[in-house]
Amino acid sequence: MRLSLLKPVCTHLDSSCESQLEELGAHLFGSLQRSGQRLKAERYVRGLLTAPGRKTLRNIAAQFEGGAAQQSVHHFISESPWEWTPVRHALARYAQRHLAPEAWVVRSTMIPKVGSHSIGVDQHFLPHMGQTVTGQQAIGTWLVSARTAVPVDWRLRLSGRWLSGPLRQRAGIPAGVTADTLDECVREAVDAVTAIPGVQRGPVVVDVDGVDAVALARHLASAGVPFVVRVDPQQQLRIDRSELPKYGDRVRTAAELASSLVSLRQQINSGERPTTAVAVPVTAAAPTAAGGGGGGMTLVGEWPKAVSRPGKLWLVGGGVQSLPLVLWLTVLPLVVARDFNAIADKVGIRDFAGRSFPGWHRHVTLASAAHLAVALDSAPVLSGASLAARK
């Protein structure tokens, strides 16, 4: 029985699936010091794949024998002192080796919650919806190819109320964790994955509502990271006259710049989706205290066939120059959205309901491992040549 054919993921695992999960566990859980911890991690992943309904600690424990299973699962996730970061690093290395991903994609995930007791729950304004939602906001980093996307790292935004006094102690939030803005969360996410030992750097695609795209682009450029960052249409920019000296440098919105420079539009026909695109060298509207206006950025807009206005707008830099490659990279967040719904949600990535900060991180780490197990079963191994062909 193949994992990819099971509903919602699977009801039981046959011998070949068991063997696959044992092999995966051997690679992912080697950092866990005790054999009992490694066994519990593998069993938890099995529970995520087989438990019906929501993947709560209780439902996962119900897959195991013994009256003490629920207490054991709760202790392993919320209280046992194993580190999740080495497991995530091993997961990223395994995904890169076996799935030939073409880029990193950073996206925000909103997890609506009823009540305010689950770790990280606050009110968050969602610009694309124009409304405030009560829940958790997590920043996920994914390794992505055209065929599949696998989450390899997570950040949970915490407001000041979670970091003061008794609430912090009850949630088990480490001393070094501070309240983060959305921009800080995204920057930390990118910095974390680009520093994973044994994992090759690739282009970073950031598709997050409300992030300061210009500041993030500067940060990525200074770190030498190739990037494609979605920018708000109302972001104030100037044409970079060092690249286009015949054009004026009046401050305009990103949408105005993309739409008005008709002479810079190009017809792109990659054989996959004929489209019209524009690439405009730009700088920030005003220099910063750090110096400079953020030169080296290119604003990219795209008009799919029969569409009169450009879709999403992106700031590009760090060595990403080929327009067909840029347009290809901007599609990868759609792969993340598809696989989040098809796999991650079904293995319980949003189902942790406890107050424990370590518990949330351990749960989403093991749910990411379960996601990887399904992705490995359903996605053909890629050669890695598809990205090179677009450069």
- Let me know whether 171 and 250 are in one domain: no
- Other Cβ atoms within 10 Å of 16 Cβ, number: 12
pLDDT of residue 271: 57
What pLDDT sits at residue 268?
A: 86
Among 293, 317, 341, identify where a domain stops. Answer: 317
Q: Which of 317, 347, 372 is the C-terminal boundary of a domain?
A: 317
For residue 114, the model assigns a pLDDT of 79
- Structural domain contains residue 354: yes
Q: Give 126's strand partners.
A: 131
Question: Residue 156 falls within a domain, yes or no?
Answer: yes
The answer to whether position 295 is within a domain reads yes
For the chain, give percent helix, strand, coil, nearest 5: 40, 20, 40
Q: Note the pLDDT of residue 305.
A: 67
Task: Tally the residues of the chain.
Answer: 391
Residues 302, 244: one domain?
Answer: yes
Query: Looking at the structure, do residues 16 and 47 belong to the same domain, yes or no?
Result: yes
Place of tokens 């997961």: 91
- Give yes or no: residues 276 and 344 share one domain: no
Q: What amino acid is encoded at 45 in this protein?
A: V
Helix (H) or strand (E) holding 182: helix 182-193
Task: State the Cα–Cα distance between residues 197 and 200, nearest whole angstrom.
Answer: 8
Total count of domains within the chain: 2
Per the domain annotation, does 67 fall within a domain? yes
Q: Are residues 300 and 354 in the same domain?
A: no
Of residues 338, 354, 383, the one with CA closest to residue 101: 383
Instruction: Please return the burial class of 209, using the count of CB atoms within 10 Å of its CB with bins 0-12, 13-18 and 19+.
Output: middle
Are 312 and 340 members of one domain? no
Residue at which a domain ends, from 317, 343, 368? 317
Does residue 343 form part of some domain?
yes
Residues 254 and 201 in one domain: no
Looking up tokens 């949330």 gives 360
- 44-70 burial code (b ≥16 CB/10 A, e <16): bbbbbbbbeeebbbebbbebbeeeebb
Burial of 182 (0-12, 13-18, 19+ CB in 10 A): middle
308 and 376 fall within a common domain: no
Comparing CA positions, the residue from 287, 290, 289, 267 lying closest to residue 277 is 267
Residue by residue, DSSP assigns 54-110 as S--HHHHHTTS-STTHHHHHHIIIIIS---SHHHHHHHHHHHHHHH---EEEEEEEE
Counting as low any pLDDT under 50, the low residues of the chain are 1-8, 11, 289-291, 380-391
Residue 217 resides in a domain: no
pLDDT of residue 11: 46
339 and 255: one domain? no
pLDDT, tens only, 170-192 = 999 998 898 889 999 999 999 99
Domain shared by 23 and 83, yes or no: yes
For residue 253, CA distances in Å to 216, 244, 310, 370 come to: 18, 17, 13, 43
In a domain, 388, yes or no: no
pLDDT in tens, 338-358: 999 999 999 999 999 999 999
Decide if 219 is inside a domain. no
Residue 312, domain extent: 231-317
Q: Are residues 263 and 348 in the same domain?
A: no
Residues 173 and 146 occupy one common structural domain:
yes
256 three-state secondary structure: helix
Distance CA 189, CA 184 (A): 8
Cis peptide before 197 (omega within 30 of 0): no
